Amino acid sequence: MTSSKLQPATRRRWRGSSPRLTPYLFLLPVLVLFAGFKVYPYIYAAWLSLTKIIKGQTTFVGLGNYGRLATDPIFYKALTNTLIILVTQVPLMLGLALLLAVAFNSTLLRFRAFWRTAYFVPIVMGLVAYGILFSTLLNSHHGLVNFLFESVGLPRVPWLADPVWAKVSIIIALTWHYTGNSAVIYLAQLQSIPGELYEAAEIDGATAWQRFWHITLPGLRPAITLTVVLSTIGTLQLFDEPYVLTNGGPNNATLTIGMYLYQNGFKYFDFGYASAIGYVLTGIIGVIALIQFRFLREKQA
Amino acid sequence: MRIDRSPEARVASLAVSVVIAIGGVLMLAPFYWLIVASTHRTRDIFSNPPNLVPGDQLWTNLVNLFVGEGFGHAVLNSTLVATIYALLGGLVCTAAGYAFAKFRFAGQGVLFGIVLVILALPSQVTLVPLFQIMVQLNWLNTYQALILPNLALPFGIFLMRQTMQSVPDELIQAARVDGAGEFRIFAQIVLPTMRPALAALGIFLFLAQWNDFVYPLIVLRTSDAYTVPVALASLQGLSDTDYGQLLAGTMVSVLPVLGLFLFLQRHFVAGILAGAVKQ
Amino acid sequence: MNCCKHDFALLASGTIRSRRCREVSQRSLVPAAWDDRGPRNPEEEKLDNTVGRLFAATGRLTRLALATTALATLATAASASELSGTITVWSWTAPADGLEAAVAGFNKLHPGVTVKVEDVGNPAIWDKITTGMAAGGAGLADVLNIGIDYIGNYIETFPTGLVNLSEVGADDLAAQFPSGMWASGSSADGAVYGIPYEVNTSGFFYRKDLFDQAGIDINSIVTWDDLIAAGPKLKEATGADLIAMDKAATVADSAGLWQLLTNLQGAFYFNAAGEITMNGPAGLRSLELIKKANDAGIVADIPGGWDNFMMQIKGQTNVAVIPAASWAAGVFENEAPDMAGKWRLRLPPSVEAGGLTAAISGGTYLSVAGTSPNKEAAWEFVKYALGTLEGQQATYEGGGMFPGFKPMLESDGFVKKSDYFDAEVNKFFIDELAQNTPVVNYTTDYARALKAYTDAQTQVLLSGADPKTVLDEAAALVAGQTGRTIAN
């Protein structure tokens, strides 16, 4: 706690006036926790990815698992599936979440508090119940959705039996489950946009759309970066939905990298291979996240 | 914000309300099914067409659940663990987010990169070694085993970093000029402006802990220590799952988080107080 | 007292009770006769005869001296064998209830042992056991309830994960259990790692009312070809499909029908030597039968999962036959009481005329964890619950799991008439166990083979692919992943 020299009120970054140690002190709990609970597991997992269980013995195989992964057609199928779901679902969901947050923040909407809760609640539902529910709803024979479709003259859809529709089902389930999550993050961020900006813009005669584009969106930039990166990572790691709805089927059409990892680890007991998949996934996520950061930061003033 | 009562605004209001309402009904409809299912026996839950009329087994299901299976214990455990986790984790993540957002220091990039790597690596991969650590520490079946490992939640750190970026530097600078200490600035100047984000963080942390399944499954040993997801999973068998109980339990487990969300609602709309920079 | 027949010296001292005698004899100098423990092997017989002659030849004084030393050994041995401590058991719902019910009787024999049965849930228990095994056996319960589809993988991947029960005398129980089931719980070289708990055979449940409506006599259906031929007639007369299948394999366990058909021909994914046989003549024939049925339009596409099973048995989704396992019999009665009399049970049709009409369709075992600090007590509990009539009766009463222990199957009252099915249900399953079903070798790679097969099946059912082609591809895939060879 040093007394700061009197500084003129400039907008330059403060250097030298804040104690050097403060950020480290604030980060201390995180550093201790990481050192305690993350270092060993990550190193262990990395080492494990270089091994294989042969006849009950864990044997060092160098980059063998990675080599096998590079020529594994099922892995590439999983990768393709995951990427398809990623580029379709994430923009869709975030776009919806954005509109929702704006609506929840606007005086145009009645009963805001109730609807805010309604859209958030899906994320609370447990996986088992949610799996049963959606499988029942999307059952092509006697599910409610097809029942409703037929009653309005639409054809029945093979929701979980067709490779394309199965992916659509996963996307629908994901959107139902997580849109509220992103909406809440956007809503929180919206609160930090000063109301005066909107008032000034209205006085200047800006339309609602212009206000949205020039005030709301830029104000939401940090939250948008956050949700884009988080949703991307979450989708790349996707496991829950394919596990309960389709088991990766039909014929691996909805097999995601997350599911393939789980299968190799907890069904085939091939932990070395599963760890290798995990680290390759981390690498992919790292590259994509980096690109996203660059892209989303570039435009900052 | 002033409420616009012009005719155009009214039409817009109606349109928005209708669209949101339709979406909202879609969001809530599955919960209606869940509530209905909780009032039935297993054999009546699965019907063609789906059973949408409430039954009379709710009390039986709940009694079986709470008295027979000790579900109340699980709810208590989960609530306690999730609350402590949200409070402590909130502190840790907020402090870290503040450091990343408002300071420049050596190793900043690397450290944040590590945060992201930890976020990126799927948790299944680190399950076994983490379990080994818990065995070594003799922390199996304890609260600390559930709370501590993920206290520094990368998602939370990331969220706080992003939201703190919009805290005006002038605010902090002015406080420094006035001679306030760093921790005081953090606690009394920065945090109060962040109520919505803190509320969001609290909810997310609580939820993350509440829904966590695989790790608690492995670490908890006795049924009186089970958290809600683990307790619900123990109701499943190969050929004799009591779905009435299971779904009633799921319904019950939704309530605490829902309650927390409603309680924190008012923080999500900070309203007029947000803009603290006086011209 | 039927033990310790030869231990005249020990008995003479008057301080030995039969129970202690039984336990002590394992460690004493003089082996005892174990009439109630099953067949004795020739080695034991020889030893007894030798000792008997030794006794006769020795003088009375020497015998007294021997008795005293034996007593001393007995004293120390007795205190060492008086079991104590706590053992935990991991299982799920109904099987756990069954084991819980056996604890009381077990405690009468071993009052010093506390048994805690934990209901972990299924499939939650697999993640728990697997993680524990992968962490070197840390934190595992003493007794583990393991499914037939998992045990092979545990045995081979974690060689010290489960106790080799042959070393503590499990082999003595072998004759009391169905040989096929017993072998599936052993390693390739015959070491026993699990004692069969639940034994499931294939039930064949059919809708008598639908068959009657279509004018088909169920007894005229001898082979699966007959059944498939009857399908279109059934559909025309009643509108019901013959059978349901999860064509898109939305749950992992979607190969039930193919496994049944292949088992009925004496084969499986792997042969006894561990070579891949899933694309062999039997496997191919099975898939071709399935395709034939599918092409005839009599297979309903109904995903797996409990909800759909419920709807089939309640008649809300009309299918004419359900080849479910023996455990399903109880489910029909509990969950679809108003269908009583409509569902009947019979042995499955054979694939070839005169072929097998029985198959083991799964089951579970009880094993002892290698890291258990109380292996003795754990093994005694397993033996009691699964290998004694008293224990089995308590277990069956408490959980209803279909047993494999022969004395239990033959016990009074086990075969009862069921009004629901108008038949002696258990009798069917006992008859199946009596048939010469092949050893089903799950091996460590069952999960991979299952996945490869179900993907192939999906291609046949949804895309009309050629069975031979997809089966060969699936076999090649498994071979590539596991290093096994495809049998010729």
pTM, two decimals, is 0.85
Query: Distance between CA B141 and CA C1 in Å, rounded?
Result: 47
C37/C233 Cα distance (integer angstroms): 55
pLDDT digits (tens, 9 = 90+) for B243-260: 899 999 999 988 998 889
Region B131-147: mean pLDDT is: 94
pLDDT greater than 60 at residue B2: no
Q: Work out the average pLDDT over A139-155.
A: 84
At B39-53, the pLDDT tens digits run: 998 888 887 777 788
pLDDT at C39: 42
Structure tokens at C282: 């039997």
Structure confidence at residue C26 (pLDDT): 38
Residue B184: per-residue pLDDT: 87
Q: What is the mean pLDDT of residues B57-75?
A: 91
Q: Helix, strand, coil % (nearest 5) of chain B?
A: 75, 0, 25
* CB–CB contact A142 B48 (8 Å): yes
Q: Do A160 and C303 touch (CB under 8 A)?
A: yes
Would you call A267 and C447 a contact, using CB atoms and an 8 Å cutoff? yes
Tell me if A191 and B274 make a contact (CB, 8 A cut-off).
Answer: yes
Which subunits count as partners of chain B given 3+ CB pairs below 8 Å? A, C
C37: pLDDT strictly greater than 50: no
Long-range contacts: A291-297, Cβ < 8 Å, 24+?
A: A292/A225, A292/A228, A292/A229, A292/A232, A293/A225, A293/A229, A296/A221, A296/A224, A296/A225, A296/A228, A297/A225
* C336 reaches B (C-beta below 8 A): yes
Average pLDDT on C223-229 reads 96
The yes-or-no verdict on residue B197 having pLDDT over 70 is yes
- pLDDT of C62 > 60? The answer is no
Cα distance between residue A89 and residue A85, in whole Å: 6
Which of B48-52, C223-227, C299-303, C348-352 shows the lowest mean pLDDT across its residues? B48-52
CA distance C188 to C249: 31
Euclidean distance between CA atoms A161 and B59, whole angstroms: 38
Q: What is the pLDDT of residue B97?
A: 94
Q: Does B189 or A262 have the greater pLDDT score?
A: A262
Terminal Cα distance for chain A, rounded: 32
What DSSP string describes C132-169? HHHTTSTT--SEEEEEHHHHHHHHHH-TTTB--GGGGT
Is the pLDDT at C25 greater than 60? The verdict is: no
CATH classification of A72-300 is 1.10.3720.10, yes or no? yes
Q: Taking the domains of chain A in order of start, what are their residue ranges?
A: 21-62, 72-300
Q: Identify which of C160, C163, C157 has the alpha carbon closest to the alpha carbon of residue C144.
A: C163
Distance in angstroms (rounded) separating the CA atoms of residues B77 and C298: 51
Q: DSSP assignment, residue A263?
A: I
The tokens for C433 are 């166990």
Window 299-328 of C: residues touching A by CB (8 A cutoff) are: 300-303, 305, 307-308, 311, 316-317
Question: What distance in Å separates the CA atoms of residue C12 and residue C22, rounded to the nearest whole number?
Answer: 16
Structure tokens at C214: 């279509």
Q: Which residue has the higher pLDDT, A6 or A122?
A: A122
* pLDDT of res. C8: 36
A36-40, A282-286, C38-42, C418-422, range with the lowest pLDDT: C38-42
**Taking the domains of chain B in order of start, what are their residue ranges?**
7-59, 67-277
CATH ID of B67-277, from 3.90.180.10, 1.10.3720.10, 3.30.420.40, 3.30.300.30: 1.10.3720.10
Rounded Cα distance between A97 and A230, Å, is 14
Cβ contacts from A onto C, under 8 A: 79
- Tens of pLDDT, residues B5-38: 788 878 888 888 899 999 999 999 888 888 998 9
C168 confidence band (pLDDT: 50, 70, 90): very high
Q: What is the DSSP string of B67-136?
A: IIS-HHHHHHHHHHHHHHHHHHHHHHHHHHHHHHHH---TTHHHHHHHHHHHHHS-GGGGHHHHHHHHHH
pLDDT at C5: 40
pLDDT for the residue C24: 38
The answer to whether ipTM exceeds 0.85 is yes
pLDDT score for C61: 54
Contacts of C404 (CB under 8 A, 6+ apart): C177, C178, C181, C182, C196, C197, C198, C199, C363, C433
pLDDT given for residue C63 in this prediction: 58
Question: ∠ at Cα B245 (B242, B246), nearest 5°?
Answer: 80
CA atoms within 13 A on the CB side of A106: 22
pLDDT digits (tens, 9 = 90+) for C170-185: 999 999 999 889 999 9
Of A17, A217, A195, A223, nearest to B166 by C-alpha is A223
Query: Is the per-residue pLDDT at B215 higher than 60?
Result: yes
CA angle B241, B247, B250 (to 5 degrees): 120
> What is chain C's mean pLDDT, rounded?
85
Tens digit of each residue's pLDDT (9 = 90 or more) over C336-376: 999 999 999 999 999 999 999 999 988 999 999 999 999 99
Is the Cβ pair A45, B277 closer than 8 Å?
no
Contact yes or no for A56 and C305 at CB 8 A: no
pLDDT bracket for residue C80 (50, 70, 90): very low
**Alpha-carbon gap: C197 to the closest alpha carbon of chain A (Å):** 22
Residues of B in contact with A244 (CB under 8 A): none
Which tops the pLDDT comparison, C434 or C262?
C262
Element (H, E) at C117: strand C113-119
Please name the residues between 126 and 145 in chain C that touch chain B, using a CB distance below 8 Å.
Answer: 127-128, 131-132, 134-136, 138-139
Chain A residues near residue B111 by CB distance under 8 angstroms = 27
What pLDDT, on the 0 to 100 scale, is given for residue A298? 54
Stronger pLDDT, A195 or A231, i.e. the higher one: A231
pLDDT tens for C457-474 read 999 999 999 999 999 999
Burial of B8 (0-12, 13-18, 19+ CB in 10 A): exposed
Q: What is the pLDDT of residues A51-60, one digit of tens each?
A: 999 888 889 9
pLDDT at C27 over 50: no
